Every structure is written in structure tokens, then in C-alpha cells.
Amino acid sequence: MSCMSRQKIILGITGGIAAYKTPELIRRLKDRGADVQVVLTRSAREFVTETTLQAVSGLPVRTNLWDKEAEAAMGHIELARWADLVLIAPATAEIMARLASGAAPDLLTTLCLATGAPIAIAPAMNHVMWSNPAVQENRQKLADRGFRILGPADGDQACGESGPGRMLEPDDIVKAVTAPIAVAEVGPAPLAGKNVMITAGPTIEPIDPVRFISNRSSGKMGYALAASARDAGASVILISGPANIPLPDGVDSISVESAREMFAAVHANIDDVDIFVGAAAVGDYHAADVKPEKIKKSHENLSITLVKNPDILSSVARLKDGPFTVGFAAETENLHEHAFGKLENKNLDMIVANLVGKGRGFDKDDNAVEVFWHEGERAFPLMNKKTLAGELVTLIAERYQVSLQTDTKTELPSIAVRD
């Protein structure tokens, strides 16, 4: 690999359950400045989709040695020459056997025979399979031929048993195969020197000293965005409602409970913010009259008068010389229509729309979103929120740069806090 170029990695994915971790692995490799070309075996397609891998890697996924169109773009021999490294993760017992025997029935094995690049494999299989003498013999043969064998790790397995055979975690694989990031190789971090504020989690609105109104937000999406913005070089302020997940390292955080507290914390710190992202699920209403003592259940029916909370996102978007403002739209129906409505009505630069309810969006590890801005849109299929956050931060950084050249935002009257 030359000093100024990006590392070019062919990621071969074979058919094991650990394939579900590969979008995260690709994301981490790209964070380290690598270009990743995915080659998927037929059985791997049972565990992870081409759509997800293409979205995360940014390159069409290669699956077939006999695909004329793909071969016309970059034939398998060119692909084998292109690579600085071939990484196979997860590597099943089957691929190890094929590599050890030199058989080449498909694109991945053919590439491995044709490449001069180093090959690393991250085995993943049931612990009894791993200790099988045939597998161990193949492992030894591959190691003797110079293949790097990464792991496997010892621990709980998808089959419910425990022992050696788990694929190494994506971070550990990345550390093993990539060089330390050199600024000259990957260019400056896209948000270096920028201040990013992110709201996350739910808000809670008390109705008496022991009860409150809230929602199902876990904070996972907002916290992942904060970590990705930090990784992109930004100084990050995370303003979070009550969430039961660890705060990301290296970000400043402010904990709040109610929407009005969040509003106050946002405006107390907004002055130098370049990019604002509203991922919090902010309560739309608070109780008009918070009872000083616990409400007794003496009546058959109980009515609570609710008063609208200030809209934090709108208030930021309306600031004179305010930040590039990105909202979220959590919808149970008519995603496009409602998201566009919010983009316009709240005077936003961008909106990230997700369907929620029925097991989607809230408190899940995965999310699928559609992002809209005034001149375009992009869809991100279902993927881990951490991976998605990395993709969203890249897109936000791109659009932010464009906005600096063409600032067309309308200035609207500001909004005051209502009580």
C-alpha cells in the first residue's frame, strides 16, 4: 500500500451467523480510511443482504464469478490485483477447507488463488466444529502458507453453547488488519473543528411526585450519532433525557428531564454550534398543574390538562445565523408526507424520517430511515444504529459543506419558551 493511498480491502463474507456483524465491520474499516469491496458467497446471502452491504460499503457487492456486467466493470483478476488485503470474515469451516485444498468453485475462492495480496481469515463456527481435527488441519495448512488467522474468540455462541469459535468483534478485526490512521492517507476528518449539538432520549413530564408522562425512546440513536460526530472530528455536546445506556466517551453531556429543561439547556449552549441534530423524542405536552402530593385514586375518572411544550427544533432552526439544523420525524404512517411537512414547517435543513411503533425505531438496535433535504433524498435500509449513525454523519457533513456555499435559509420569527 502506498503511503498516500487508501487501503483497498476485499471483504469476503461466508455463510455463518456472524455475517450479521459485517455491516459494522465495513463501517469500522471505512472509518480507518479503507475502501471495502464486498464479495458475498451464496450461503452468506442467507444471513445478510446485498442492499445493506452496498449501502454501507458504497460499492456494488460482487457475488458471482459469471456475472458478465460486473466482470465488464472490474474482472475477477483485476479485483484480485486491486486488493491490498483480502479479509474473510466470518470464515466458515467450508471456506477454510476450500482454501486449504486450492479448490476454486466461486468468485471468492478464485480471487484468493489469483491475488498476490495477504489473506486474513476470521473463523466463526460452533466450538465442536472448530476443534474437529479436519478443521484444525486446514487451519494449520493455511497458517503455514502465510494466511493470517484472526481468532476465533472464546465465549457464548449463537447455538447456545460456549467455547472457542466466536468471530472476533469487528473492532478487534479492524485493529488487526489496518494500519494506524495517517491524516495524509484519509484526509482531514469531515467535521474537524466543528461544534455539533445533539439531543437524545426521551423527555419526562411529571404529573405528581411519583408519576410522569414519557415515551419509549432509549437514546440509542442519538448516542450513536454523538459518537459518530465525535469520530468525524467534531466537538460534541449531547443533551439527553433519561436514558439507561452509557454516555459515549469524549463528548460533553448535559442531563435533563423535561422538554422545557431540554429547551433551556439547548439555548444556553447554542451560540457556537455549527450543526444541531434533534434526535430526542421530546414530549409534546406537559401537565398544566403538577400536583405537589401523590394523586389519590378516589375518583372513577381522572382528567389531566396538558399544555403544549416549546418546539426545541423549530426554535433552533429559526435562530438568526443559527446552526445547520437536522430534525428527526418519528411517524407511524405517511412517512414522506409528514416528514416533508416537518422539513418545511420547522424551517429545517434536513430531516431524518423513521417509521416507529409495531417494534420499529424506538428502543431497537436497528433502524431504517429516509433522509430528505430541499434538493434531494436518500434512503438507508435497516441496519445497526451505530452503523447508520456513521452514514448519517457523513451525509450531514456533506450537506453542511454545501450549505456553507449556498445559504438559502429563510429567517422566521423566533419562538419563546411557554410555561
* Binds ligand PMT (CB under 6 A): choice among 44, 196, 330, 335: 330
Compute the half-sphere exposure of residue 370: CA atoms within 13 Å on the CB side of its CA. 14
Of the two residues 88 and 313, which places its CB atom closer to ligand PMT in the complex? 313
Alpha-helix residue ranges (DSSP H) falling in 296-384: 312-317, 335-345
* Binds ligand PMT (CB under 6 A): choice among 278, 322, 323, 390: 278
The 216-235 site mask, x for binding ligand PMT (CB under 6 A), equals -xxxxxx-------------
CB of 367 to ligand PMT, least distance (A): 6
The reply to whether 312 sits near ligand PMT by the rule CB under 6 A is yes
The reply to whether 241 sits near ligand PMT by the rule CB under 6 A is no
261: enclosing H helix or E strand: helix 259-268
The reply to whether 276 sits near ligand PMT by the rule CB under 6 A is no
What the block records as the C-alpha cell of 36 is 471495502
Q: DSSP letter for 258, please.
A: S
The reply to whether 322 sits near ligand PMT by the rule CB under 6 A is no
Stretch that binds ligand PMT, among 8-16, 44-52, 140-148, 354-362 (CB under 6 A): 354-362
Q: Which of 159, 270, 306, 368 is catalytic?
A: 159
The 249-268 site mask, x for binding ligand PMT (CB under 6 A), equals ----------x---------
* Binds ligand PMT (CB under 6 A): choice among 362, 372, 380, 400: 362
The reply to whether 238 sits near ligand PMT by the rule CB under 6 A is no
Distance CA 212, CA 222 (A): 22
The reply to whether 198 sits near ligand PMT by the rule CB under 6 A is no
Q: DSSP letter for 282, please.
A: -
Distance CA 233, CA 411 (A): 29
* Binds ligand PMT (CB under 6 A): choice among 7, 22, 138, 309: 309
The reply to whether 117 sits near ligand PMT by the rule CB under 6 A is no
Distance CA 119, CA 109 (A): 11
Distance CA 57, CA 84 (A): 16
Of the two residues 147 and 324, which places its CB atom closer to ligand PMT in the complex? 324
Contact 144, 121 (CB under 8 A): no
Distance CA 278, CA 392 (A): 13
CB of 135 to ligand PMT, least distance (A): 39
* Binds ligand PMT (CB under 6 A): choice among 18, 111, 280, 335: 280
Distance CA 347, CA 280 (A): 18
- A 10 A CB-CB count for 138 gives 20
Residue at 49: amino acid letter: T
CB of 203 to ligand PMT, least distance (A): 8
Stretch that binds ligand PMT, among 34-42, 64-72, 172-180, 324-332 (CB under 6 A): 324-332
CB of 96 to ligand PMT, least distance (A): 38
Pick out residues in 27-66 that bind ligand PMT (CB under 6 A): none
The 284-303 site mask, x for binding ligand PMT (CB under 6 A), equals x-------------------
**Is the Cα dihedral 389, 394, 399, 401 positive or negative?**
positive
Going by C-alpha positions, the residue among 388, 409, 415 that lies closest to residue 26 is: 388
CB of 357 to ligand PMT, least distance (A): 10
Among this protein's residues, is 3 annotated catalytic? no
Going by C-alpha positions, the residue among 238, 218, 245 that lies closest to residue 366 is: 218
Contact 233, 311 (CB under 8 A): no
The reply to whether 240 sits near ligand PMT by the rule CB under 6 A is no
Question: Which residues, in sequence order, are bridge partners of residue 405?
Answer: none
Compute the half-sphere exposure of residue 193: CA atoms within 13 Å on the CB side of its CA. 1
Residue at 90: amino acid letter: P
* Binds ligand PMT (CB under 6 A): choice among 92, 347, 354, 387: 354
CB of 162 to ligand PMT, least distance (A): 30
What the block records as the C-alpha cell of 294 is 401523590
Pick out residues in 86-115 that bind ligand PMT (CB under 6 A): none
- DSSP helix/strand/coil, 50: helix
- Residues lying near ligand PMT in the complex (CB under 6 A) are found at 199, 201, 217-222, 259, 278-282, 284, 309, 311-313, 327-330, 342, 354, 356, 361-363
| Residues with a known catalytic role | 159
